[in-house]
Structure 1
Amino acid sequence: MKNNLLSWINKNRDPNIAPNLKRLFAFIIDYFIGSIFVSFIPMILVSIITQEKVITVNLMKTIPFDMQLICCIVSIVLAVYYYCIIPLNPTHLGQTLGKRIMKIKVVKMNGSNITLTDILKREILGAMLIEGETTFPSAYFRNILYQFMPAFLSQALGWLSIIISIISIVVGYLGINHRMIHDFIADTKVIKA
């Protein structure tokens, strides 16, 4: 039984899959760079409106709703640019800055290059909306969304997002090809570049 399992694992393991540690470091790099990139303009707007020098996402709740909406839209547009448009650049296809530094990239499961549809499914639907806790821009989106919900529902969705993110990390870590939930949604994998 043990030999059959090892044989199956070895047969189904893709030798080009990026190691977990490289994915982790790419994520950390992208989280910090992406957070700064996505937050810069919204935080300046919040600072101008509130006259505060220390800005948090929670401070955004104190500004008028129309300005919150503008900040959310700007943040999402910048996130789409960083996480979706940059990886479609032919010179570093499938790579954000973090993935480029770590020499890994996103491809379709069949090994072909990703398309705009693939990357939108992976990053916007999978990482930002379903997992939620793995990308910073989702905080802006949730901030707006939660204003239209009762507090108990927004808290429940917040916890659900955390749980889904944890499950995705565990699935990615333990899975044969280290695919996370957003990879399954978009039918992608992360490989060595």
Structure 2
Amino acid sequence: MKKVIKTSNETKLAVSQEVPSWKRFIAYMVDWYIGSIFTSLPMVLIYMKVTNTQDLNTNLFQYPKQYAILAGCTGLGFALFYYMIVPLVIWNGQTLGKRWCHFKIVKEGYDSIMFKELFVRQIIGILLIEGALIFPSNLLHQVLSLITNINLITPLMYVGIVISVLSGIFVIFRKDQKAIHDLISNTKVICVNNAS
């Protein structure tokens, strides 16, 4: 079903309300890969500098104690840039994966995504609730475990896997193809004819 919407610059775009599940999966894989590399970059550089090695290590428990939290928080900052700033400021509702696959995140009424909805979708929904399948979530679990001295990684990973699988089932079987993060943020993804 096609619908014409107006973007903030009043350019008309023909959009399809439904993004095929396979297209969402491809975009997810691109974002998983690029987001993981981008998040890991400062961590790896800190580890290499501190240990004077060429090891590409992202396991904070193997870092010198005084640098583990610094590396983890820096990595999380890079993740926030990729998953929040890029779609909010740079590519209007698109991460690199969504841009390559020609779809974007919008509010339920087709308005451009704003900070609040993007924060609920990307940070609360994907990073915290569904988070078992992306590296920044694992990194957050490592940082929390280091700060609290409690192993939160394993239980949060299992809970996240269950919720992520359920969210994937939602995308496949719901008529509106909304994942859990779309439902809690009142957003959806739409195809666009160009990478706006």
Give the TM-score of the pair, scaled to structure 1.
Answer: 0.84
Question: Take 1:83 and 1:93, find their aligned partners in 2: how far apart are those partners?
Answer: 12
Q: CA deviation at 1:15?
A: 5.0
Contact kept? 1:126, 1:181, Cα under 8 Å: yes
Q: Deviations over 1:29-67 (max 9, x none)?
A: 111111111111111111222344333433x21223331
What is the DSSP-based 3-state SS (H/G/I as helix, E as strand, rest coil) of the residue aligned with 1:53? coil
1:80 maps to what in 2? 80
Change (3 A) 1:158 1:133: closer
Q: Deviations over 1:67-116 (max 9, x none)?
A: 111112111111111111111236x3101111011000000112111101
Runs of 4+ residues deviating >4 angstroms: none
The answer for unaligned runs of 5 or more in structure 1 is 1-13
Q: Which 5+ residue runs of structure 2 have no aligned equivalent?
A: 1-14
Change (3 A) 1:15 1:176: farther
Alignment of 1:1-193 (within 5 A): 15-58=16-59, 60-89=60-89, 92-147=91-146, 148=148, 150-151=150-151, 154-193=153-192
Q: TM-score, normalised by structure 2?
A: 0.82
* Matches of 1:40 and 1:122, distance apart in 2: 24
For residues 7-43 of structure 1, give each alpha carbon's deviation from its aligned partner in whole angstroms, at most 9, with x where no partner exists.
xxxxxxx951211111111111111111111111111
How big is each residue's C-alpha offset from its partner over 1:115-171, in whole Å with a ceiling of 9 and x where there is no partner? 0111111111110111112321111111121232544x5422221111111111111
Kindly report the root-mean-square deviation, in angstroms, between the aligned alpha carbons of the 2 structures: 1.9
Residues 65 and 120 of structure 1, relative CA distance in 2, 3 Å threshold? farther
CA distance in 2 between counterparts of 1:149 and 1:161 reads 20
Distance 1:127 1:45 in 2: 26
Distance 1:24 1:168 in 2: 12
The structure with the largest strand share of the pair is 2
Shift of 1:173: 1.6
- Distance in 2 separating the partners of 1:178 and 1:61: 38
Higher alpha-carbon deviation: 40-49 or 20-29: 40-49
8 Å CA contact 2:141–2:156 kept in 1: the answer is no
> CA separation in 2, counterparts of 1:75 and 1:107?
27
In structure 1, C-alpha distance between the alignment counterparts of 2:43 and 2:191, rounded to whole Å: 34
User: What letter corresponds to residue 144 of structure 2 in structure 1?
Assistant: L
**Is the contact between residue 57 and residue 139 of structure 1 (CA under 8 Å) also seen in structure 2?**
no
Alpha-carbon distance between aligned partners in 2 of 1:155 and 1:54, rounded to the nearest angstrom:
25
